[in-house]
Structure 1
Amino acid sequence: MTRTWLTTRFGLDVPLVGAPMAGVGAGALAAAVSAAGALGMVGVSATAPAGWITQQAEIAAGGEAAGSGGGRPYGIGLMAWALGDNPGQLDAVLAARPALVSVSFGPYDRYVEPLREAGIVVATQVGTTDEARAAEQAGVDVVVARGAEAGGHGRDAVATLPLLQSVLAAVRVPVLAAGGVATARGLAAVLAAGAEGAWSGTAFMGCAEATVSEAAAARLLAAGETETAYGRVFDIAQRLDWPPEYGGRALRNAFFDRWAGREEELAADDAAGASLEEARRAGDFDTAYIYAGEAVGLVRERRTAADVVAEFATADKLLRRFSGG
């Protein structure tokens, strides 16, 4: 497989990071992705206790509960806006010392030096070229150029390909590409453009190791490429303090369509928030949310993380085909 900064720095076989997905990607998925030769990550929700991080980090690192993690490197993803109210999350991450920590979406710069001093590689996700420049100035080790196609939270400002090209020209630190990269073809494309690897979440959502219910998995596998929507509806209904510039991309459903454009009204409607929580518990995804990117149309079957990574690894054949190798 093509060698890049990412593969060399972390001893990977494939230049690929399994993106941190709160509520979907815990220690088992991170361990499985890492064991397959990519870099798995644990996604930390805003309210996750420090003890949960410690437990999932042990699993991701290949502890007994992980089965066959094999001690491969792994990463953890944090939400910068949530750390002020939950400082124990950072303490737990520093104690776990994962190979990589992504801290994004909010005032992340204050956390860069403590993480680097602990010997941890620091990444942040950016949605514009100006954000990439600011991240380089803040001292991050690697920038993740996250396009608007990506699932979950981030900016809806620029698509992956134009963003990647601009960021690569603007910064000197390594750059990973995120948003819409779900197959070997996508990985080959961003490597050919100059990225050091891909950062992929949606491709792993259908994996057996992901913490996704059968009902949610069925909905994901049936969804097409045009069936996502971006906005703040689900955050407002849950009274989450996400900065307003970071909406979320999720599968479009009846709840989203009902409230899109009526966010101020939704903010005052406690019954709507209660119905969302009830639907989440009941597995009713006409109301409950499933965050996913536009690449969801490429996810068509339940597979293991090893199978997904193995398919990504065939990107090398595509690169050789077009390079004459």
Structure 2
Amino acid sequence: MGAPMAGVGAGHLAAAVSEAGGLGMVGVPAAASAQWVTEQAVVAGAGGRPYGVGLMAWALRDNAAPFEAVLAARPDLVSVSYGPYAGYVESLRQAGSTVVTQVGTTDEARAAEQAGVDVVVARGSEAGGHGRNDVATLPLLQSVLEAVRIPVLAAGGIATARGLAAVLAAGADGAWVGTAFMGCVETTISSEARRRLLAAGETDTSYGRVFDIAQRLAWPPEYGGRALRNAFFDRWAGREEELASDDDACATLDDARREGDFDTACIYAGQAVGMVRRQRTAADVVADFAGAKRLLSRFTM
């Protein structure tokens, strides 16, 4: 499954992943309009394949329009994560969507099951974008599988057939993959951002709240972001309180985002970024993941 990556994965990427045999997701930005969600849902579902939409619960408190648009679109799967998501579960299920939430601890997984979600994503700290930095994928997955009865997907650091085979062998029902798709032609990222991603190594990411604070985004503080390390992050890491009141730094980041200056602007990516080495199509990435079947067959009698 393709993870919902706001600002990276819209309707075209979701459609391409689904057409290739996975399940593609549209990542909804915090300030997205209902019209944008509706348009991207049409693109994602145009081929008649199942697709999903990912929402950020904290953002829905101030902008409920995307949620209403998702209810109307009735995608096959909806992810609502990071913030007070429980109040959205029943409406989505009544609309016919499978409901997923991402969790970063075993306690969060138990709470999600009690809230009535259909599937949990055990998202380890290796993952790109936002989430907890408390537990790595493999120990988290093992613990969550022991703790809940609902299906579990694994996320964080899964970029090849080997990673998919590993989590399936552990008992996961599937993998929730973001970074592996970031080099794809169907994403919305710029050519310069893609160039930097393809050149990055496995140790080139950092985790923290620097970019959220500088953008004045209301992410819950427990959910920082993993992105490619750059000069702006290095300058402000450890000085977040000062950054929160520095309007010049905020303006600098805004300018950099518009100008495509990624020494300052952020590119969210996980620790698997070192395995994303060339531009490909989503179909290429999905086809490579199919190699997990061969790896798993080595252990069948």
2:161 equivalent to 1:187: no
What's 2:42 paired with? Answer: 58
Following the alignment from structure 2 to structure 1, what is the Cα–Cα distance between the partners of residues 79 and 197? 25
Quick check: 1:176 aligned with 2:153? yes
Does 2:233 align with 1:262? Answer: no
Alpha-carbon displacement from aligned partner over 1:126-147 (angstroms, at most 9, x marks no partner) = 0000000000000000000000
The one-character-per-residue Cα deviations of 1:40-94 (angstroms, maximum 9, x if unpaired) are: 00000110011000000000001xxxxxxx2100000000001111111111000
Q: 2:2 aligns with which of 18, 21, 28?
A: 18
Which residue in 2 is equivalent to 1:126?
103
Aligned-partner Cα distance in 1 for 2:165–2:300: 12
The aligned residue for residue 25 of structure 2 is 41
TM-score norm. by structure 2 comes to: 0.99
Q: Distance in 1 between matches of 2:29 and 2:132?
A: 18
Q: What amino acid is aligned across from residue 28 of structure 1 in structure 2?
A: H
Q: Counterparts of 1:95 and 1:194 in 2: how far apart (Å)?
A: 34
Summarize the alignment of residues 138-177 of structure 1 with structure 2, pairs less than 5 Å apart. 138-177=115-154
SS, match of residue 107 in structure 1: coil
Q: Which residue of 2 aligns with 1:303?
A: 280
Find out whether 1:92 has 2:69 as its counterpart: yes
Alignment match of 1:225 (pick from 202, 217, 225): 202
Q: Which amino acid aligns with 2:20?
A: A
Question: Amino acid of the residue matched to residue 42 of structure 1?
Answer: V
Q: In structure 2, what is the Cα distance between the partners aligned to 1:312 and 1:189?
A: 12
4+ runs deviating over 2 angstroms: none
Unaligned ranges ≥5, structure 1: 1-16, 63-69
Q: How much is the aligned-residue C-alpha RMSD, in angstroms?
A: 0.5
| CA drift at 1:277 | 1.0
Q: Distance in 1 between matches of 2:298 and 2:16?
A: 29
CA distance in 2, matches of 1:273, 1:44: 23
TM-score normalised per structure 1: 0.92
1:288-319 Cα offsets, whole Å, 9 max, x none, are 00000000000000000000000001110000
SS of the residue aligned with 2:172? coil
Deviation at residue 24 of structure 1 after TM alignment: 0.1
d(CA) in 1 for partners of 2:50, 2:99: 14
Partner of 1:275: 252
User: How far has the Cα of 1:323 moved from its partner?
Assistant: 2.5
Paired residues, what number?
Answer: 301
**How far apart are the structure 2 equivalents of 1:283 and 1:49?**
23
- Report Cα offsets for 1:261-303 as digits up to 9, x if no partner: 0000000101101111111111111100000000000000000
User: What corresponds to 2:177 in structure 1?
Assistant: 200
Counterpart secondary structure, 1:323: coil
Q: Partners of 2:300 and 2:260 in 1: how far apart? A: 48
The answer for the alignment partner of 2:14 in structure 1 is 30
| Counterpart-to-counterpart distance in 2, 1:41 and 1:198 | 13
Give 1:112 deviation, angstroms. 0.4
Identity %: 78
**2:187 is the counterpart of 1:210:** yes
The answer to whether 1:80 aligns with 2:39 is no
CA distance in 2, matches of 1:161, 1:314: 20
CA separation in 2, counterparts of 1:210 and 1:203? 11
Q: Distance in 1 between matches of 2:290 and 2:48?
A: 21
Q: Which runs of 5 or more structure 2 residues have no equivalent in the other structure?
A: none
Q: 1:230 is paired with a residue of what secondary structure?
A: strand
